Structure 1
């Protein structure tokens, strides 16, 4: 079964009653469990870890607002939403640091997810299991998920508190540097790897594996430009015991609800449309992805997010091995000439667009319906093997192994019916600078609209100098608002800074 991860709502605060006769008032509520009453059985542990996965379905994380930061703030996307504050947030015009949809809710849901991880890690060790391997894998899942949320939080805000125990409302956690957060992520991932299985049975599809832990480790090292460590982590997946992944024949299968959790998927967020509620903690809360509704063309969805048109032209620069267009373009973007270029679209939508406009197609459901809503069941492939291959090639190139790196780029190009890299671009040779320049292009062509571009720009150092930002401005005028040394990180929500004397606002804000 595809959607197996259900969640339970945990009560995380205790009621204390004080009076002259305290014992008479301290009566257990039969309709609500306290922390002391919970965390007794293996089933409690199962429900506890499942509640962490439920955070993927919240507005602040991968159901909605993460895509606005990861895709629209990069040079691949932008917003002309009539909701001015929302559009401003994607173009570095940060006025209200407490802006809920762009900042506050993602901070809240990130730490809410971390809180649930910490509950599991604090309480499950005391529970007796007949199956100790399952106990250890539950703890490993919590460590993996805590690492995942801290990784993205460190890339968004950088200087944030590290909280490793269940927190209380009165806590005032200390602030840590991005480097300290990344060190904790590394620890969690290494410990998770030891206890995670290499694979799960069909009833547990969607839980992290050893391969997912190594993939996240590799991404972590890549963002720190620790190329040797990244190569070692990826070795497990490329040529080591975890070398079980491969590219699917049909590129489109990575972006629909057909053939999900396939051989290319390293870690995939499981979405479904079986519950049509909101994003609260109610029993009917949705487990859906709302990205398609917000990113769809006008007349189909809200169109709060669009793709930069330079991407369309970029795809058309290099013909495929047959002299035609790169087939990935048709599955990546909606744009006015899509039907004219490829000629066999199955749906005749009533498009509302102007010339030189484009929208992200990945995750859209035009393959079987002609509108979007808040309940997309299409899984989000957070890490897929093509991304790993290209990062591996990048690490090899940075280590002076440029010649060895070609083969991993060619695996990705071959699926797209593109000529081998050396044939199409003989000018690169063994020059690492030219190879990296082309690899940046390869990542756009393969991964456009998959929430990796912002991380790429940070890793490459393109956001660290005005010269680098000026190059981006040529593709995305929103970067005219980008301030070097400031805008590569979000402001910490002002309410957090005001309520916690241990937090200092990020530089420049």
Structure 2
């Protein structure tokens, strides 16, 4: 199996003191680095390497994006870990639930800032090669500002915007979330200007122009800027970029390591099961863990820690309609493990190395478990070293976002929006919306409400739902909150105006008078 992996290249975080000159021969310092094109390439690769850190997409961010939403929850015996998925925040510095991900987002931004600060001064034989490196750094910095805005952003001056390499003693001032969105959009414009539409086979996984357009559309949609988001997505749906993307025929191909970096992948995080070091959490190991840890934490009992599981309403929703062949939606089979899985799908009778008898056990009974991004399709265990790439943005998401923008525009074409949703449904042989959801084809209001469920059926447990329910305002009013409570009792703990964002780690607020804590914390 060949993968392009962005191996760690540790660049000294702080400048060396002028008074004391002590050099660690294992570290490269700023004063001796950033001299050549090779240095620039290594520096940009170091930003990608943040995808392998436990605080980001390797592990903990999924607790915030999937388990905090109404699709998932935690019943972990680690009480504090579970509390952070049910809006009970006691220690704002809780490392695994809050501070680690916050820290790693800014660590990634720091690495991007180094590249953006130093690369312009490096002489390149080819300006286009230089631009491609800068474009990737802008994209990656924007991605982490997007995460900060989604998870911690508020109207308070709570989030720093850092655009140059940090120095010890810096106390950057906080900004409201509107400024974070503006910075991300600015970075993505630079990325769009500099990134190629595609990369060659040796550089799969690097950011592209399409990825930058899609991420900027996500930023704009969270601000309800439907026109701006539609224009970005149009490049991929109808414009020049449409030639590079399509839905893969087999839905499952989005979640295995057998057909990675395919035409549905807009931006894909590269993981590998090749490793030397043990599974630990070391941030700066010379042999870092390059695997996806998610399966170890979300897999069913006897396979993983089962710190995350799935709400039953999702299975119920999948089973409300049959496909054009009279069978259940195949996306249900590929998304979750549940008690009736063998009855609903012939041959679907294994949970890794276990048979259906496990549903009679107390630790399985009446529970639903994650299957997406698991490795049961080719082995009977999961671990800290999954080789499955994360399709962070895929084309089905782009299409559904585009349909949402169309329906929210005063002059938007509802017929076109319906046709786009039908295109996503048709891939898995689900009937057109007019068959079982006729009202959604007749009014924009009904369509947008149905689209909320269509996004979950297609994209459930892929890290989109938390941003979605925030964008739809479900956490901003009592009617929306009541809807969420029906699907997820954890929302009984939710306080409007408070829990739509996380608390800033106390250590950050206490040590920087320029930051404000988020409201009501």
- Is contact 1:276–1:375 with CA below 8 Å preserved after alignment? no
Residue among 320, 331, 356 paired with 2:334: 331
For 1:390 and 1:33, the matched residues in 2 are separated by 45
Give the alignment partner of residue 365 of structure 1, picking from 359, 371, 375: 375
Computed over aligned residues only, the root mean square deviation of the Cα atoms, in angstroms, reads 1.4
CA deviation after TM superposition for structure 1 residue 354, in Å? 3.5
In structure 2, list runs of 5 or more residues that go unmatched: none
| Match of residue 299 from structure 1 | 302
The range that moved more, 29-38 or 432-441, is 29-38
**Under a length normalisation based on structure 1, what TM-score does the superposition of the two structures give?**
0.96
C-alpha contact (below 8 Å) 1:206/1:269 kept by paired residues: yes
Q: 1:375 to 1:30 in 2, by over 3 A?
A: closer
Q: Does structure 1 residue 12 correspond to structure 2 residue 13?
A: yes
Q: Give the corresponding residue for 1:162.
A: 161
Distance in 2, matches of 1:233 and 1:32, equals: 41
Q: State whether residues 10 and 27 of structure 2, in contact with CA within 8 Å, keep that contact through their aligned partners in structure 1.
A: no
CA contact (8 A) 2:15 2:167 kept: no
Write out aligned runs for 1:217-228 (5 A): 217-228=216-227
Q: Structure 1 residue 360: deviation in Å?
A: 1.4
Could you say which residue in structure 1 is the equivalent of 2:185? 186
- Please tell me whether the aligned partners of residues 469 and 479 of structure 1 are also in contact (alpha carbons under 8 angstroms): yes
SS at match of 2:30: coil
Q: 1-side partners of 2:303 and 2:23: how far apart?
A: 51
Query: Which residue in the other structure is 1:477 paired with?
Result: 489
C-alpha distance in structure 1 between counterparts of 2:22 and 2:60, whole Å = 42
In the other structure, the counterpart of 1:143 is 138
Other-structure match for 2:459: 447
Displacement, 1:147? 0.2
Partner of 1:430: 442
Answer yes or no: is the 8 Å Cα contact 2:267–2:394 preserved in 1: yes
Residue 260 (structure 2) aligns with: 260
Contact 1:80–1:87 (CA under 8 A) maintained in structure 2:
yes
CA offsets 1:300-323 (integer angstroms, 9 cap, x no match): 110000000111111000111122
Q: Could you give the per-residue CA deviations for residues 181-240 of structure 1, whole angstroms, max 9, x where no partner exists?
A: 000000000111111011001111100111111111111111111111111000000010
Q: Hey, what's the Cα distance between the residues in 1 that align with 2:441 and 2:308?
A: 39
In structure 2, what is the Cα distance between the partners aligned to 1:116 and 1:5? 13
1:57, distance to aligned residue in structure 2 (A): 0.6
Residues 118 and 166 in structure 1, CA contact (< 8 A), matched pair in contact too: yes
Query: Alignment length, in residue pairs?
Result: 503
- Which deviations, in whole Å up to 9, do the C-alpha atoms of 1:120-154 show, x marking residues without a partner? 00001111111211111101100000000000111
Aligned residue number for residue 354 of structure 1: 364
CA distance in 1, matches of 2:27, 2:70: 48
Write the distance in 2 (CA, Å) between the matches of 1:2 and 1:47: 17
Pair 282,428 (structure 1): closer, same or farther in 2 beyond 3 Å: closer
Distance apart, 1:253 and its partner CA: 0.6
Hey, what does 1:394 align to over in structure 2? 404
Stretch of structure 1 that moved more, 273-282 or 402-411: 273-282
Is 1:502 aligned with 2:514? Answer: yes
Q: Does 1:127 align with 2:122?
A: yes
Check conservation: 2:51, 2:57, Cα contact below 8 A: yes
The corresponding residue for 2:105 is 110
Give the equivalent residue in structure 1 for 2:248.
Answer: 248
Q: TM-score, normalised by structure 2?
A: 0.94
Gaps of 5+ in 1: 19-24
Q: 1:27-42 alignment to 2 at 5 Å?
A: 32-42=27-37
